[in-house]
Amino acid sequence: MQIEDGWLENTKRVVSPNSDARPDARPDARPDARPGTGPSLIVVHCISLPAGHFGNDYVEQLFTNCLDCDEHGDFDDIRELRVSSHLFIRRNGLVVQFVPFDRRAWHAGESSFKGRSRCNDFSIGVELEGVDSGEFTDRQYETLTGVCQLLMANYSIPADHIVGHSDIAPGRKTDPGPGFNWQRLRLSVNA
């Protein structure tokens, strides 16, 4: 896997309109860095639509504002939602990319990391197909590990800057949930 122009090579691309320019360079970036040169945080989420249903295209439709909310009663609450993520890792480990890494995806909402708010400004959002009350597949962990290692190398993101949505929005978000094996991810990205 490699990154070219902010996109993972050889990965399905479904461009989301729900993104915009990153507002500033990271505060810890080199002094000669251009504004918006790169993220410094990876946020792990989970999503499935409807909750607990896997292998359909509803998440892609949500992130591209094409979801027919009349198709399922669970979609009423997200009718007006305009969100995206950089990546979506399906249960079988396949990756869909919606937003290039040099742009801001709309995944974190009201959030804070180490005293810095607005995590969308400086993070990469990675959605795992799943529910926060469930577990994730070996293929998802393998893919997530490879993606994290690549992002860490390309953007100088330290391993302790890989967090869950629940870490940056405590009390508001619970994903990726108690079934997510943080020890497994931390050991594998540092291997």
CA distance 35 to 28: 12
**Residues recognised as catalytic:** 127
